[in-house]
Chains A and B, each alone.
Chain A
């Protein structure tokens, strides 16, 4: 099972990661845009902090994250099973 707090933190990660992705697509065609790159880098750092916080509390979001014993990555819920 999962908590409301877990879902809220996950949604915060989803929002920040969406901004990073949108900026990455913009930078693909505007690699010399200094302001966009600065925003990209700031949101990318924010994303890392949030992901670390999430994984400490609720387990890995990705298979190269360090896990407690037993392996936590396989645990529920999976993304399609969550009520957001």
Chain B
């Protein structure tokens, strides 16, 4: 494994970053919602909470 700047290091994970492949950044554990809010939002994690906004008509 090369130790270039193309190497992604997250969560002690080392994967070579190459063309023709897909990569997803690892989530780190941070703040969490309280249980009631988490259930209503559909996730425990503020950084993954992406509520749907109806698109404006063009």
Contacts and interface: CB of A to CB of B under 8 A. Distances in A.
Question: A contacts B directly in the complex (CB < 8 Å)?
Answer: yes
Interface of A: 12, 14-16, 18-19, 22-23, 26, 29-30, 32-33, 35-36, 39, 43
8 contacts: A12-B35, A15-B35, A15-B38, A18-B39, A19-B38, A29-B26, A30-B26, A43-B35
Contact of A14 (B27, B39, B45): B39
Contacts of B29: 26, 30, 33, 35-36
A24 B39 CA distance: 15
A19 B44 contact: yes
Interface of B: 11-12, 26-27, 29, 32, 35-36, 38-39, 43-45
Decide if the interface of chain B is mainly helix, strand, loop or mixed: loop
A43 B38 CA distance: 13
Given A23-B44, A30-B11, A18 B27 contact: no
A34 to B, nearest CB: 9
B45 A22 contact: yes
